Structure 1
Amino acid sequence: MTDTSDARPVDGEAEARADAPRRGLLRRVMRYVPLIAPVLLWAVPCWVLLFAGQHWPLPVTLAGTALFALGLVVMPLAMARGHGRRQQDRAAIVGATLLGASWVLFTWSVLLGVLLRLALTVAGVGEGQDRARIVTWAVLGVTAVLLVWGYAEARRVPRVRRLDVQLPRLGAGLDGTRVALITDTHYGPLDRARWSERVCETVNSLDADLVCHTGDIADGTAERRRAQALPLGTVRATRARVYVTGNHEYYSEAQGWVDLMDELGWEPLRNRHLLLERGGDTLVVAGVDDVTAESSGVAGHGAHLAGALDGADPELPVLLLAHQPKFVDRAAAAGIDLQLSGHTHGGQIWPFHHLVGLDQPALAGLSRHGTRTQLYTSRGTGFWGPPFRVFAPSEITLLVLRAP
C-alpha cells in the first residue's frame, strides 16, 4: 500500500538546490514573525468581530476591545515566562493555549469574514449590520467547536495507522517485519503521565519487531519530565527499541535524554546502526542526530550519515531514523531504502501546514524521493505547545515491511 497524502517528491540534489531559495525566504520571514504575528492574531479578529459594520452597543465594543488587548499582552508575556529562563509550566500552558486559540480565531475570522459575508451579500440575506453580526456569531461558533474538538483530539491516545511498505531490496526472510513508530511525544507542562502509559500499552498491542521513536520526546529536561517519560521503559519489541534525537532535545540538555532512553532500555542510534536479522536475511537499522545538533553546541552531537552507515554492507537494505523529513535529501543521495521521520505534526492546527511546507519536503504519509528512497513522515504522537489538533490527527504508526 502506498500513501502519498500531503507529500511532495524530491529528486536528489537538484531539488535540494531548487528548495534553497524557498527555505531562505522562510528564514527571512521568520525573523519578523515574533513581532508581527501576535498583533495580527489579535487585531484581525478584533476588527472582524467588533468593527466591521456590527454597530454593537458601546459597552460591548469596549469590553470586546479590552479582551483582545488583554490577549495581545498576556500571550507573549506568558510564552516568555513559560519558555524562557524561568520555565514556569503554568505560564507556558496559558501562553500556548492563547496562541492556539488566537490562531483558530484568526483563521476563521479571515475566512468567514470574507467568504460568508460575500455569500450572504450574493444571497441577499439581511442588511449591512445584520450580515456583519451573522459573521461574528458564525466565527465565534466555529472557533468554539474547533477548539473543543481540537483539544479532545490532542489529548486522546492516537489511533493506529497501518500500512504496508514494499522495499525492493528486502530479503524474503524479513517479509512481514513489523515496525512501530512513535514520535514527537512532547511531554511538557501539561502532565500526561497517564496518557504516556496508554500510548505504550497501544504500542505493545501491535506485537512489533522493531519500535522506533524519532525524537522530540519532551519540552524540558529529562529530570523535569522524567515521570511522563518513564512508561517508555515498558514498551516491548521482539527485536529492538531504537531512538534518535529531535530538535527539541537540543533546547533542553540533549545528552540527558539520550542517557535516560538508554536507561529505559532503548538503543540511542546516534550516527550508528544495528542489524536486524531474520530468516537468513538482514536489515540495517541506522539513525542520525537531528540536523540542528551540530549548531546546538552540544559536544559530540551532529547528523553524520556516513558515520551511521560505517561498516554496513552497502548491498543490504537500510531503514534510517532521522527526525526531520528534510534529511531525505542526504538519504536519497546515499541510496537509503526507507527513512522514518516526524517533526511536522501534519501542521497540527490547520492551515499551519502551509508554513510547514515551506521548510519540509513532506508533511505526512509515504512519499518517494529519488530512484530508491521512500520517506514516511508521521503526524506525531503528541502535540507541541497549543493543546489542540485541528484537521491533523495524531498517530501511532505500524509499518509492515514487504519484500518484492
Structure 2
Amino acid sequence: MTETSRTRPDDSDARAAARPSRLHRLMRFIPLIAPVLLWAVPCGVLLYAGQHWPVPVRLVGTVLFGVGLVGMPFAMVRGHGRRQRDRAAIVGDILLGASWVLFTWSVLLGVLLRLALAVAGVGESQDRARIVTWAVLGVTVVLLGWGYAEARRVPRVRRLDVELPRLGAGLDGTRVALITDTHYGPLDRARWSARVCETVNTLEADLVCHTGDIADGTAERRRAQAAPLGTVRATRARVYVTGNHEYYSEAQGWVDLMDELGWEPLRNRHLLLERGGDTLVVAGVDDVTAESSGLAGHRAHLDGALRGADPDLPVLLLAHQPKFVDRAAAGGVDLQLSGHTHGGQIWPFHHLVRIDQPAVAGLSRHGARTLLYTSRGTGFWGPPFRVFAPSEITLLVLRSPQRPA
C-alpha cells in the first residue's frame, strides 16, 4: 500500500467551502425562535387549548414550562459553550430532546387526534382536550424511554453489497467497515466505545473508515472514550477524516490522536489498496467547514486528495458531509462514504436535514457514476435519544461487475 503526499487546496474549493448553506443561514435565527416554540406550543396544547384545569394545576404546569424555556438555553450555552460544563450539557441535551418530542406530538395529536375525536362524535371539547393531553404525555414518555435505549445500545450492523462498475475483479469482495459520528461527550461512553470496536473487529474488514465527528470536546478531554479505537483491526488500513465537530474542539489534536492510535488521517490525500492485481484509490478530504475554522492547512480539497492517482482507477472517497458529493461526482469519484446527518436522530428532524444535505441515510446515486452511502451514525449528538433513526455500524462489500470465477 502506498500513499501520495499532502497538498494544498485550490481557491475554488476554498470558496465553495466558505459559502454558508441555506440551513446555516436559517440556523442563525433558530436560537431565538426554537426555545419559545418548543416549550410554548406544548404548554398551550396541554394546559390551555380547550382545557379547564384547576388553577393550581395550570399554574404549576405553566411554571414548569417556563423553567424549561429558560433553563434549556442556559444549560446548553453553559454546557456546550466556552465553559464546557459536562453536567450542564447533559441537562440541556435532555431538555432539548424531551422538548422536541413533546413539541412534535403536541402538534400532531393536538390537530389530528382532536379532529379524529370530533369526527368520531366524542362529545365536549373538554373531553377531547383531556384525551389529547394524556395521549401526548403517554407517547412522549414511551418514545423518550425507547429513544434513550436506542441511543445507548451498541449499533446493529448494517450489511450491503455495492457494485462499482470500474472495480477490478481482484478487488471483488473487499470488505469496508464504516463508523462515524461517535460523538464521545459529556456522558462517559468508554465501555460503549470498547463494545463498538469489538463489534467492528468481528467483521474482519479489509478497510475500516471513520468519517468524522469523533467527539464533542478536545482530544485531551475525551481521550479515555476514544482510546478503544486503537484496538480496531483491519487487514489493510484504518482511515479517518475530520468532521465539523472536530473544528469546534481543536481539530489538529484529534488528527494527532487518531494517528497515535494507528489510524491514517486522510487529510486531502489518498492511499492505494491493492489486491488480486487490481487497485482501489482510497481518498479523504477535510470537512467542508475546515476552511472557515481558521486552522492553518485545514480545508476540503478533492483535487489534492486525488493528485497523482491514475484517473482510470476506481475511487472510494471519505467526506464527512453528504453534500460534498456534488464535487465528488464532478471529480469522477465512484463511491463516497459520509455521515453527519444521524438519519435525523429524532423524528421528524430529518426533514430539516434535507434542507442542507442531498441524502439523509442509505445508498443514493449522484450523476452518471457516483454512489453515495450516508450512514445514520454510530453514536448520537446532544440529546441521548434516537427516535425512528437507529444508529449503525456499516459493512459494505464492494462488488465488481466481472467477479472472479
Q: Structure 2 length as normaliser, TM-score?
A: 0.94
Q: Does 1:61 align with 2:58?
A: yes
Corresponding position of 1:254: 251
Q: Show the counterpart of 1:5.
A: none
Q: Distance in 1 between matches of 2:50 and 2:119?
A: 17
Q: Which residue of 2 aligns with 1:310?
A: 307
Residue 6 (structure 1) aligns with:
none
Describe the superposition over 1:105-148 as per-residue Cα deviations: whole angstroms up to 9, x where unpaired.
00000000000000000001131111100000000000000000
Residue identity in the other structure for 1:359: D
Q: Which of 262, 266, 270 lines up with 1:265 in the alignment?
A: 262
* Aligned residue number for residue 212 of structure 1: 209
Q: Aligned-pair distance for 1:24?
A: 5.5
- Equivalent of 1:189, from 162, 186, 190? 186
Q: Does 1:332 align with 2:348?
A: no
Q: Which amino acid aligns with 2:239?
A: V
Instruction: Tell me the residue number matched to 2:234.
Output: 237
**Aligned position for 1:138:** 135
Alpha-carbon separation, structure 2, partners of 1:80 and 1:107 = 23
Q: Is 1:72 aligned with 2:60? A: no
What code does the residue aligned with 1:276 have? L
The percentage of counterpart residues that share the same residue type is: 88
The corresponding residue for 2:286 is: 289
Q: Which amino acid in structure 2 is aligned with residue 170 of structure 1?
A: L
- The one-letter code matched in structure 1 to 2:87 is R
Aligned to 2:198: 201
Structure 2 Cα separation of the partners of residues 242 and 126 of structure 1: 63
**1:277 positional shift:** 0.5
- 2:86 aligned with 1:84: no
Alignment match, 2:125:
128
Give 1:31 shift. 1.7
CA-to-aligned-CA distance 1:294-335 (integer Å, 9 cap, x gap): 110001100010110111111100000000000000000011
CA distance in 2, matches of 1:324, 1:275: 23
Amino acid at match of 2:69: L
**Post-superposition offset of 1:174:** 0.3
How far did residue 29 of structure 1 move? 2.5
- Alpha-carbon distance in 2 for matches of 1:175, 1:107: 45
* d(CA) in 2 for partners of 1:24, 1:207: 38
Can you list the C-alpha shifts for 1:65-117, whole angstroms capped at 9, x where unaligned? Answer: 00000000110000010011111000000001000000000000000000000
How far did residue 27 of structure 1 move? Answer: 3.7
Separation in 2, partners of 1:257, 1:24: 25
Deviation at 1:25, TM superposition (A): 4.4
Alignment RMSD: 1.1
SS of residue paired to 2:219: coil
Which residue in 1 is equivalent to 2:156? 159
Instruction: Say whether the 8 Å CA contact 2:21–2:356 is kept in structure 1.
Output: no
Structure 2: how far apart are the matches of 1:182 and 1:26?
Answer: 25
The C-alpha deviation readout for 1:275-304, integer Å capped at 9, x for no partner, is 100000000000000000011000110001
CA distance in 2, matches of 1:204, 1:234: 8
Q: Where does structure 1 differ by over 6 angstroms across 4 or more consecutive aligned residues?
A: none
Match of 2:13 in 1: none
Match of 1:3 in 2: none
What SS does the corresponding residue of 1:290 show, helix, strand or coil? coil
Q: Which residue of 1 aligns with 2:9?
A: none
Residues in 2 aligned to 1:236 and 1:326: alpha-carbon distance in whole angstroms = 29
| CA distance, structure 2, for counterparts of residue 27 and residue 364 of structure 1 | 20
Residue 300 (structure 1) aligns with: 297
Aligned mates of 1:334, 1:28 — CA distance in 2: 27
- Determine the C-alpha separation between the residues in 2 that align with 1:71 and 1:356: 25
Question: Helix, strand or coil: the match of 2:355?
Answer: coil
State the Cα deviation string for residues 24-71 of structure 1 (Å, max 9, x = none).
Answer: 543442221100100000000000000011201111000100000000
1:255 Cα deviation after fit: 0.3
Give unmatched runs, 5+ long, in structure 1.
Answer: 1-16
Q: Which whole-Å CA distance do the structure 1 matches of 2:81 and 2:327 have between them?
A: 34
Distance 2:317 2:211 in 1: 10
Does residue 173 of the first structure (1) align with residue 175 of the second (2)?
no
